[in-house]
């Protein structure tokens, strides 16, 4: 048994305060009966409805997370801190997963959603969603690296990367734009140039740009403009 307001908030659709207001205004039923007391205890399987719609009905959620280093992007990896551990309780059981992976030591923009079709569309190889990373290397980056990335780097296993863009920012830092997403791609591309990655942060994913005001580990729902952007990709 758990409190009705907690049950509503656990869906991720409403904050605890919004849930309490909904309940008090008589819009919530449990087994067909209106309950106006947020503290009412309800059974795990009790059918709860808001305005006649079951709270079990899926509502898609889209969050921008500034992933810190030290957490894994998979949602359940025993013994590891995952990106879901960074989110509030209300986001725990609503099927959120990252649209694309970042390595444990990579920071930056991660889109978390429970909208499978959208995520699959964004990640499909043929959709070529641009990803931009800020990268620092051990070694000196030069015009030859810029040219090599422009032509398409061949990785150690023989895979020929699609042409990308490398924009030098200093002798050891750059923005790199990729139009595909292979495992450890930036690290493997720069390793193949003899310039191992020392620091990596994703700053853009398609139309989404990492929000500067989000500290590491923080997240926020996408704005309407950002939602429009990802749906028109």
Among 200, 210, 222, 230, binds ligand URA (CB under 6 A): 200
Say if residues 65 and 86 touch (Cβ distance below 8 Å): yes
**Pattern 39-78, ligand URA, x by CB under 6 A:** ----------------------------------------
Q: Judged by CB under 6 A, does residue 106 bind ligand URA?
A: yes
Instruction: Give the tokens for residue 112.
Output: 């978390």
Q: Which one, 73 or 114, has the nearer CB to ligand URA?
A: 73
Among 121, 175, 187, 216, binds ligand URA (CB under 6 A): 187
Among 102, 119, 161, 230, binds ligand URA (CB under 6 A): 102
Known catalytic membership, residue 115: no
Q: Judged by CB under 6 A, does residue 185 bind ligand URA?
A: yes
Among 40, 74, 103, 163, binds ligand URA (CB under 6 A): 103
The catalytic residue positions are: 103
């Amino acid at each position: 048994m758990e409190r009705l307001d907690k049950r509503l908030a656990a869906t991720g659709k409403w904050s605890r305060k919004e849930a309490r207001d909904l309940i008090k205004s008589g819009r919530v039923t449990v087994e067909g009966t209106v309950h106006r007391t947020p503290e009412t205890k309800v059974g795990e399987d009790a059918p709860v409805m808001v305005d006649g719609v079951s709270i079990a009905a899926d509502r898609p959620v889209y969050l921008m997370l500034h992933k810190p280093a030290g957490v894994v992007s998979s949602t359940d990896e025993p013994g590891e801190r995952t990106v879901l551990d960074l989110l509030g309780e209300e986001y725990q059981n609503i099927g959120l997963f990252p649209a694309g992976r970042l390595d444990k030591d990579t920071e930056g923009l991660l889109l978390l959603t429970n909208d499978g079709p959208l995520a699959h569309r964004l990640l499909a190889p043929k959709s070529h969603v641009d990803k931009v990373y800020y990268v620092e290397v051990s070694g000196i980056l030069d015009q030859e690296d810029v040219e090599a990335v422009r032509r398409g780097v061949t990785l150690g296993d023989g895979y020929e990367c699609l042409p990308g863009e490398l924009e030098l920012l200093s002798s050891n830092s750059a923005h790199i734009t990729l139009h595909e997403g292979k495992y450890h791609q930036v690290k493997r591309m720069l390793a193949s140039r003899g310039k191992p990655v020392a620091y990596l942060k994703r700053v853009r994913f398609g139309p989404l740009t990492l929000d500067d005001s989000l500290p590491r580990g923080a997240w926020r729902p996408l704005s309407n403009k950002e939602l429009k952007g990802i749906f028109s990709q």
